[in-house]
Structure 1
């Protein structure tokens, strides 16, 4: 078996933005649109509402990619202006494309909309500078001094991430540990300050705000002693649980009926993220189906005219939470297999019809699944659904296989744009596909979804040789 399976090569990291920053630019642009329409003496119509929805999803994605926030507070005026101008130009181009597709062309010729398109980047730049200045003043007053108890992989990782993220406004003074230096990781960036018995004195003398304890359960007596001594200080105390020995999916802390709980494996689409994901699916699927309606009709006629059988192929797949769903595809083969044994399509497969070969190579056979998206059975981006027969086979052979069903299956996915599209004729290939599916669950963001959609278009236009 290939030992490289699961060793995923990541693209440049997509910045993880906090909740308020992720909403700031889109809501500011939408607010300016409303004010512009109101001041011009016009009525904010349903078309403006649709435009606002497009602005929200497009700008949150584009500004998530370019993210001028990452350059603050070091960025100068010209750097910020260039970053915001480029981001807004991308938003305007996308708005024009989707706006005309959605029948909003009349809005873009109105003077107040044109003024809004031109004025928004200047308004965003002004707001950016104001918030930057306020943030600089706040950061000077609120940098927390931190010490780490225990030198291990987890505490070293925390130190590295604090060092790489100045927005956290933390400054780590160093580590404390009773172990010999030879037993400690060599790649730590901050110094070893002493033993655990030295911590209370150091915290009091240096006005330390926060103490992170990263110690195993076996160290409980020493931890209890340390906690008793730290009660004589004003430091905040946190534990770093060593749960990262497990393969985590959207791990987080929560509470159930007032009792603390740690989520080890959870869907990324809970709460606000779930609403964002579903809303983006509905908006994009509706726009795409309206744009492609003539193509759908032409394909249906071609299938019916060139081979006997139904136009739409219905197959049972596993969906959200492992429940069976019916997935639609344009029929591309002479058979409609959906039993206990399903043979995957192979290169030069004799079952593939003449028109079916074209549909499969261009992925046009997947277009009816946008109706599955509107039904709520699927998402535009997510792990590709497998036939029920394949699920029953691979769930016994691949660890974590069924975790991919914690989200709705997708028309395209992270695995498909990374080379695992089409036939998976070996266990190694299927393991690699599942590794990418689980990685998608760990790393999900709206920006990642848009990246996958863009890369899917590129793969389809390149006529990927794995699809047949």
Structure 2
């Protein structure tokens, strides 16, 4: 089978399937609302609030579902994860619809029992539809027994990594059938996979066994081997695909992107896709709004306590560097007495005389950070991300700490991987800052929405108190 045709067919099917899935989701949401209305009949004549709620929920679902990656082709994806993401996105869409309904018409309300039954009914229907679609696609697109054979041209750890990824992803439908390493003369095959050290013998094996795919897992600068392989198969209908090893020059482990219709590999660029950034932005706005509303009495009490403890405003404002180097004004509860800050900015130290009594408590419990949820609501910060530093500290550490600047490829966060792993507080040495930066880069390289949720949960469970916070 022509696997290049299969790739194109999968892309077209994904686009068409996404459109069908959207129409199907709107239908399931509407049918769920109708079913709930039939089960719980209402004597009211005016059903416009319910119709408006259905329209709002369907609109929010069509916006949020792509952000959660629900319309991606489910083949090869975890069915459990797809079901959980669908349920979370639907609950968030329902919450957004309820807020909009409350804002548009505070006096009118939909029956709570109908709303709850509709949420459950449509949620179950959406999740079941995802499972059915996933099973159907798996059955239709199932590769031949053992998978499509692939011949790999490569050297070293990158070639081994590509072969291991093939073995670790049987759902992708490929299997390693031969390897050719132009840099090693004597090497045994891996787990029964024949290995060649001569290109002619390798090409003959590919032709004899009708292997349709040749993958070039080569260093990015090895153009000679690439051209030699292409020339060896110039008269064969073999698909040749390049999978260059960019580990030595790439800051983050990112995949292929499309730029003005041409494929490109990010070597030094933001590790988060536009879809990931949208997913973070949606969570940030709703989470920060919920925190600010829920802690409003506490915020007011802290503001009053700060004003009474010493002369000066309740909030401390300072310029910090945000995503892509853009500066913003960070908000914190003031924890120090007013002092001359025109000189070099000094980090707070243990038993710092500038810190007030109420300020020491706020810093120890991290309650002084709560106003930063306003920065999150403004879109200047994120709930989870690298902590921002004062601009003078940025200028100090950027030239001497490896990878420091890359912390600002995403929005800075209120909490982060470094903070939940104890890397917070004063950085009185280059080594401490280097460890914090390494933790931030680890977060960027391994970002996922579930990692953000783990960090938020760890922050809530462990609390914001830490021995280094002073």
After TM superposition, the score normalised by the length of structure 1 is: 0.78
Q: Distance in 2 between matches of 1:368 and 1:399?
A: 31
Question: Match for 2:307 among 304, 308, 312?
Answer: 304
- Alpha carbons of structure 1 residues 371 and 31: separation in structure 2 relative to 1, 3 Å: farther
Question: Of residues 169, 176, 181 in structure 2, which corresponds to 1:172?
Answer: 176
2:143 paired with 1:140: yes
Q: Counterpart of 2:167?
A: 163
* 2:171 equivalent to 1:153: no
CA 1:122–1:255: 2 relative to 1, 3 Å: closer
Q: Quote how far apart the aligned CAs of 1:356 are.
A: 1.3
- 110 and 363 in structure 1: CA distance in 2 versus 1, 3 angstrom threshold: same
For residues 129 and 263 of structure 2, the distance between their equivalents in structure 1, rounded to whole angstroms, comes to 42
Q: Deviations over 1:44-64 (max 9, x none)?
A: 43597379859986998799x
Q: More deviation in 305-314 or 271-280?
A: 271-280
Superposition pairs for residues 161-310 of structure 1, below 5 Å?
A: 161-180=165-184, 191-194=193-196, 195-216=198-219, 220-249=223-252, 251-254=254-257, 256=259, 261-310=264-313
Q: Does 1:33 align with 2:35?
A: no
Partner of 1:393: 396
Q: Counterpart of 2:113?
A: 110
Distance of aligned partners of 1:52 and 1:356 in 2 relative to their CA distance in 1, 3 Å threshold: farther
Measure how far apart 1:301 and its partner are.
0.9
For the Cα contact (< 8 Å) 2:87–2:123, is it kept in 1? no
- In 2, Cα distance between equivalents of 1:238 and 1:424: 47
| 8 Å CA contact 2:30, 2:54 repeated in 1 | no
C-alpha contact (below 8 Å) 1:62/1:91 kept by paired residues: no
User: Are the structure 2 counterparts of residues 171 and 44 from structure 1 closer, same or farther at C-alpha, using a change threshold of 3 Å?
Assistant: farther
Cα 1:323–1:192, aligned 2, differ >3 Å: closer, same or farther? Answer: same
* 2:431 match: 428
Tell me, yes or no, if the aligned pair for 2:152 and 2:178 is still in contact at 8 Å. Answer: yes
Q: Check whether the contact 1:385–1:409 (CA below 8 A) recurs between aligned residues.
A: yes
Structure 2 gap ranges (5+): 1-13, 38-46
Please state whether the residue corresponding to 2:231 is helix, strand or coil: helix
> What per-residue deviation string (whole Å, max 9, x for no partner) do you get for residues 386-419 of structure 1?
0111111111210111111111111111211121
Shift in Å, 1:336:
5.8
Task: Describe the superposition over 1:319-345 as per-residue Cα deviations: whole angstroms up to 9, x where unpaired.
Answer: 122232211100011146754522212
In structure 2, relative to structure 1, the CA distance for the partners of 1:25 and 1:178 (3 Å cut) is same
* Structure 2 counterpart of 1:8: none
How far apart in 2 are the matches of 1:305 and 1:36? 55
1:452 aligns with 2:455: yes
CA distance in 1 between counterparts of 2:439 and 2:204 reads 48
Aligned pair in 2 of structure 1 residues 328, 171: CA closer, same or farther (>3 Å)? same
The DSSP-based 3-state class of the residue aligned with 1:332 is coil
> In the alignment, is the contact (CA less than 8 A) between 1:159 and 1:189 conserved in 2?
no
Larger Rg: 2
1:95-140 deviations in Å (ceiling 9; x for gaps): 9999999997976832253253156336524641452143133123
Q: Which has the higher contact order (CA 8 A, sep 6+)?
A: 1
Assess, with a 3 A threshold, how the Cα gap between structure 1 residues 351 and 69 changes in structure 2: closer, same or farther: farther
Please list the CA deviations of residues 330-365 of structure 1 after superposition, one character each: whole Å capped at 9, or x if unmatched: 001114675452221222222221211221122211
- Which residue of 369, 372, 377 maps to 1:374? 377
After superposition, the C-alpha distances for 1:1-57 in whole angstroms (9 at most, x for unaligned) are xxxxxxxxxxxxxxxxxx999999999877633432245366343597379859986
Q: Distance in 2 between matches of 1:257 and 1:97?
A: 37
* Contact residue 321 and residue 406 of structure 1 kept, 8 A: yes
Measured in 2, the distance between the counterparts of 1:152 and 1:171 equals 19
Separation in structure 1 between the aligned mates of residue 291 and residue 19 of structure 2, nearest angstrom: 25
RMSD: 4.1
In structure 2, the partner of 1:12 is: none
SS of equivalent residue, structure 1 residue 140 = coil
Unmatched segments (≥5 aa) in structure 1: 1-18, 73-79
* SS in structure 2 of the partner of residue 243 of structure 1: coil
| Local SS of the residue matching 2:353 | coil
Quote the Cα distance in structure 2 between the aligned partners of 1:433 and 1:457. Answer: 20
Q: Retained in 2: the 8 A contact 1:212–1:237?
A: yes
Q: Under a length normalisation based on structure 2, what TM-score does the superposition of the two structures give?
A: 0.78
> Aligned equivalents of 1:119 and 1:47: distance in 2?
11
* Match of residue 324 from structure 1: 327
Aligned-pair CA distance for 1:315: 1.0
The alpha-carbon deviation at position 286 of structure 1 amounts to 1.7
* Greater CA drift, 367-376 or 118-127: 118-127
2:56 and 2:97 in contact (8 A); partners too = no
**Paired position in structure 1 for 2:469:** 467
